[in-house]
Amino acid sequence: MIYKIIHRTTYKYKYPVSVGNHVACLKPRSIQHHSLIKSEIIITPNPTSITERIDYFGNHLCYFTVEEPHDELIVEARSEVAMEDPPATPPTHSPAWEDVAAALSRDQHPEALEAYQFRFESPRIRLRPEFAAYALQSFTPGRSFLQALLDLTARMHTDFRFDSKVTTVRTPVEEVFQKRRGVCQDFAHVQVACLRSINLAARYVSGYLRTYPPPGQPRLVGADASHAWVSCYCPALGWLDVDPTNNVVPSNGHVTLAWGRDFGDVSPLHGLILGGGVHTLKVAVDLEAVES
């Protein structure tokens, strides 16, 4: 199976922007169960300069500058990803979660050392006693790491309500936790905060989620969604992904775009502009599956 992905972002400004410097994180990663075939980014107006590089976390970034006056910026990323066999079913056995937390402090394996950095606070995620208390309802003494992780994911799916009107991209994770409402980005932040607050390593994952139209209705172009979920590290098993928004273990319906400490590390598009005033933002994602 091949996924064809179009991610189109449109900014409309009240006043012309004279100069804009932007960074796009819109090129999917190649990982165990899917690989990037090709990717291109189309920018209107044409940028005066454009460069690509790999960031600290291994994500693909595109830097570009637009120097002509413009009242609209359109960034369209087109990618093709080959989806391989679905990931193996998560193992049924894993070490006690306390052993996983303790092992992170002493394991000198390169993968474990890389994972260790995801135990700490990040700009958008703070460690709090209330997060630890919530997590410990699932991570009870002696319970296996995997059972506890899946239980926390299921509890969050039950306790938190999807509501796109109560939060913004800047809403603190503490506020989301109190309101028990938000969107996938918020839920991923809360779960990462809970896991790190009990000394586990967890990272924020951004990507795409394949959606399906209601029975009898056609698939709408541009109606798919960018998405966010969580990955938690166990030395014996590696990184395990969970999706608290949908209470699933991500498989061939999830396409990984990037990962980092929190949303700030993987924002799809951000930058600095001179001028513009008030602006509107529209994002449309189309993920189409075709036979390879």
Q: Report pLDDT digits (tens) over 182-215.
A: 999 999 999 999 999 999 999 999 999 888 777 7
Using the predicted structure, report yes or no on whether residue 222 has a pLDDT greater than 50.
no
What confidence score (pLDDT) does residue 50 get? 97
Q: 162 lies in a domain? A: yes
Least confident of 23-27, 106-110, 178-182, 267-271: 106-110
Question: Residue 51 is encoded by which pair of tokens?
Answer: 């460069």
Same domain, 214 and 180: yes
CA gap 173, 190 in Å, rounded: 6
Using the predicted structure, report yes or no on whether residue 286 has a pLDDT greater than 60.
yes
CA gap 118, 131 in Å, rounded: 16
Domain that holds residue 189: 97-250
Same domain, 80 and 132: no
Q: 258 lies in a domain? A: no
* Total number of domains constituting the chain: 2
| Segment 155-179 mean pLDDT | 95
Using the predicted structure, report yes or no on whether residue 127 has a pLDDT greater than 80.
yes
Same domain, 12 and 78: yes
| Higher-scoring residue by pLDDT: 59, 86 | 59
With contact defined as beta carbons under 8 Å apart, do 2 and 290 qualify? yes
What confidence score (pLDDT) does residue 33 get? 86
- Where does the chain show beta strands of DSSP type E? 2-27, 34-44, 49-54, 60-66, 70-83, 161-162, 181-182, 202-209, 225-234, 238-242, 254-260, 269-275, 279-290
Q: 71 lies in a domain? A: yes
Same domain, 114 and 241: yes
| Higher-scoring residue by pLDDT: 290, 206 | 206
Calculate the average pLDDT of the chain.
Answer: 92
pLDDT band at 109 (very low <50, low <70, confident <90, very high): confident
Q: 92 lies in a domain? A: no
With contact defined as beta carbons under 8 Å apart, do 115 and 197 qualify? no
Using the predicted structure, report yes or no on whether residue 232 has a pLDDT greater than 90.
yes
Q: 19 lies in a domain? A: yes
| Segment 80-97 mean pLDDT | 80
CATH number for the domain harbouring residue 208: 3.10.620.30
Same domain, 227 and 277: no
How many angstroms separate the first and last alpha carbons of the chain?
A: 5
CA gap 79, 217 in Å, rounded: 26
Using the predicted structure, report yes or no on whether residue 230 has a pLDDT greater than 50.
yes
Same domain, 50 and 166: no
Angle between helices 145-159 and 184-196 (to 10 degrees): 140
Least confident of 56-60, 97-101, 183-187, 207-211: 207-211
pLDDT band at 105 (very low <50, low <70, confident <90, very high): confident
- pTM for the predicted model, two decimal places: 0.94
Same domain, 134 and 204: yes
CATH number for the domain harbouring residue 56: 2.60.40.2250
CA gap 189, 174 in Å, rounded: 10
The alpha-carbon radius of gyration of the chain (Å, integer) is: 20
CA gap 229, 103 in Å, rounded: 24
CA gap 248, 229 in Å, rounded: 10
With contact defined as beta carbons under 8 Å apart, do 12 and 277 qualify? no
Same domain, 117 and 186: yes
Same domain, 128 and 105: yes
| Segment 139-162 mean pLDDT | 96
Same domain, 205 and 112: yes
Q: 89 lies in a domain? A: no
